[in-house]
Amino acid sequence: MKKLIPPVGFGLAVALACLAAAPMAGAASIENSECFACHSDESLTRSATEGMNHSRMSELLFIDETQFNHSVHHNNGIGCVDCHADITKLNYNQEVPHKKQLDLVNCTMCHEESSNAFKDSVHMKIRGKGITMNCNACHGYHYITRQESLSVADRTNNGCAKCHNPYQSHDWLPQKNEHFSFVECVVCHVPEAPRHIRLSFFDLMTNKFYSSQEILKILGITESEFRLLLDTNKDEIINVKEFENLELILRQKNVHAIFHAELVAKMHPSVHKINRGQAERDCKTCHSANSPYFDAVTLVLTKDDGSSDHFQVDRAVLESFSLRHFYALGGTRMKLLDKIGFLLLAGGFSVVLGHLAVRIATIPLRRKNEYEAKQSSIQEEVSR
Amino acid sequence: MSHEKLIYIHPAPVRVWHWLNAAGIVLLVVTGFQIRYAEILNLMPLKDSVSLHNFAGFGVIAAYFLWLFYYLSTGKIIIYFPDPSTFVAKAVKQAKFYGYGIFRGEPNPHVMTPENKFNVLQQKAYLGIMFVLLPAQMISGVFLWKVKGYSDYIHLLGGIRIIDTIHVLFFFFFASFLVVHCYLATLGHTPLAHFKAMITGYEEHH
């Protein structure tokens, strides 16, 4: 089975890109442990009067090492001074061993494509109105984790909903609640960004998503065996039959997980290019047969570090009873129902047209019978 | 026309319900097709068809409760229940009439009275429609109207796909039934006789 997003390779690429791009003269010798010698102290603060702006970050200098160690940057070998590149050496003779006023971290050093997309976005343009929005406004600082395993709700809460209340706008949108629950903001707001239907294991009893480890433990198999279990014909795509088979196996293991489906954007730099007036507002784009929004379907196994394994699923699964807990009006409709509907309508029209045709054809017969009945009635009256 | 006798068959509440229901069902069928086949039909924007569909749906639900209240409070609900002891014989007779006798100009074996306005085939059909199909369609429609709000019930019934399948299959049934119903209404002593009766309340007996 093909892994669609190879996190390890991606991580290496990011690390290599940083190594190549970051101005780290002398910085390589500074280990994270040296930074945490001071910054793991919860009481470490910086007075807001020393020239820094009065933000929370300027005061709190404590970094939770455990949380930092779960971050995507740490997991990809990015150290403190790779980002805080203006710290080139530590002088322990001073009260603060580096300069007190550090430069802003330049995420562009590594995330060039995302940065370029962001530069062409409304979030950059608002700087003209005096509002500065940096990467950390959405992504945070030291504890950035992978986003790909997050649900729509988490993606919204961790991102757009920090500033925007979607319920205060979107008055034109029918079924707001349903859209906000199943569709990630950028899917509509950046129509060119790649997206996919993300299927994940969900337990209705506990109202929680199953993690990769939980599912594999229940099934009693390893990650590589999971691929073999799913893709029995080894064509690297899970078809309806294979999907049904997985469901059956889960039932046999007494796991009543459902497949929760959401329409989310793929982790791609283009998601940063949000602009006014470009959001998808034509309902038909999504809610019609063969909509491109449902072309990519993936089953995901989420991991603790926020990454996930993706398994490509045949779109036909969305239009089958295998996926009973997701339906996008018109977009994932079952063709079988259309055929049954056509037969019902054809049956109704056939009965009507057939009966009407015989009714018209037998008009002379009825006239004749009526005439004969009248004659016989007259004869009866005469004979009386 | 001196040999004709007028009989008051359809009281005002029934007529009001009937035409409210008719308007609602027609709107639901038209907007239903627009919603399901948005890529083919262009009668109105999808967003408007969804709003109109919801509006008409609640109209039909309101009309249904008017119907239920009237028939329960007057005890006339009994006209929807065929007598099992005579059902088969009467059903065969009625089917023979529709399939053969009507073409020969034979009289309808069922004589409409205020107490017994439906023939047994109508009784059976309307019993299923008013007590099973329409309630199922209304409930599934309400669930589809607020999928998130009713998610617990939807999950309990097997998922949104099951609810949608019920709604769509019955939608096609009602669309087909609408055609057949309108045609059957032309089988009075004149093609418009039953239509007039549903406006005035009076059926002409010969």
Give tens-digit pLDDT for A111-165: 999 999 999 999 999 988 888 888 988 888 899 888 887 889 988 988 899 999 9
Write out chain A residues lying below 8 Å of B179, CB-based: 345, 348-349, 352
B119 Cα to chain A: minimum distance (Å): 19
Quote the strand ranges of A103-234, DSSP E: 195-203, 208-209
CATH number of B5-205, picked from 2.60.40.1930, 3.40.50.300, 1.20.950.20, 3.30.300.30: 1.20.950.20
Taking an 8 Å cut-off on Cβ atoms, the answer to whether B104 and A329 are in contact is no
ipTM for the complex shown? 0.92
pLDDT at B206: 63
Residue of chain A with shortest Cα separation from B152? A204
* Phi, psi for residue B160 in degrees, rounded to 5: -60, -30
- Choose from B161, B165, B179, B184 for mutation: most chain A CBs within 10 A: B161
CB neighbour list of residue B38: distance below 8 Å, 6 or more residues apart: A283, A284, A287, A288, A330, B46, B49
Write out chain A residues lying below 8 Å of B169, CB-based: 337, 340-341
B176 touches chain A (CB under 8 A): yes
Q: Are strands A208-209 and A257-265 parallel, antiparallel or unpaired?
A: unpaired
Whole-angstrom distance, CA of residue A294 vs CA of residue A317 = 11
Say what percent of chain B tops pLDDT 70: 98
Neighbouring CB atoms inside 10 A of B28's CB total 25
Write out chain B residues lying below 8 Å of A370, CB-based: 105
Whole-angstrom distance, CA of residue A209 vs CA of residue A199 = 11
Neighbouring CB atoms inside 10 A of A344's CB total 19
Taking an 8 Å cut-off on Cβ atoms, the answer to whether A349 and B179 are in contact is yes
Residue of chain A with shortest Cα separation from B101? A366
B168 touches chain A (CB under 8 A): yes
Tokens at A352, concatenated: 């009507």
Name the stretches of chain A with pLDDT < 50: 1-27, 48-49, 52
Taking an 8 Å cut-off on Cβ atoms, the answer to whether A334 and B165 are in contact is yes
pLDDT at A28: 52
pLDDT at A26: 42
pLDDT at B149: 92
Q: Over chain B, what is the mean pLDDT?
A: 94
pLDDT at B2: 45
Write out chain A residues lying below 8 Å of B140, CB-based: none
What is the reported pTM? 0.84
pLDDT at A25: 40
B19 touches chain A (CB under 8 A): no
Residue spans per domain, chain B: 5-205
Write out chain A residues lying below 8 Å of B155, CB-based: 204, 258, 325
Of B146, B161, B183, the CB nearest to A321: B161
Q: In angstroms, what CA-CA distances link A336 with A121, A321, B38, B169? A: 43, 11, 18, 11
Q: Which residue has the higher pLDDT, B5 or A48?
A: B5
Write out chain B residues lying below 8 Å of A344, CB-based: 172-173, 175-176
Taking an 8 Å cut-off on Cβ atoms, the answer to whether A341 and B172 are in contact is yes
Write out chain A residues lying below 8 Å of B44, CB-based: none
Q: In angstroms, what CA-CA distances link A348 with A18, B87, B165, B179, B181? A: 69, 24, 20, 7, 10
- Choose from A280, A325, A369 for mutation: most chain B CBs within 10 A: A325
Whole-angstrom distance, CA of residue B186 vs CA of residue B188 = 6
Write out chain A residues lying below 8 Å of B165, CB-based: 321, 334, 337
Of B147, B160, B180, the CB nearest to A352: B180
Question: What pLDDT, in 10s, does the model give residues B8-44?
Answer: 999 999 999 999 999 999 999 999 999 999 999 999 9
CB neighbour list of residue B190: distance below 8 Å, 6 or more residues apart: none
- For residue A70, how far is the Cα from the chain centroid? 22
What mean pLDDT is predicted for residues B102-118?
Answer: 91
Measured torsion, CA atoms of residues A221, A227, A230, A231, in degrees rounded to the nearest 10? -150
pLDDT at A3: 37
Taking an 8 Å cut-off on Cβ atoms, the answer to whether A359 and B103 are in contact is yes
B95 touches chain A (CB under 8 A): no
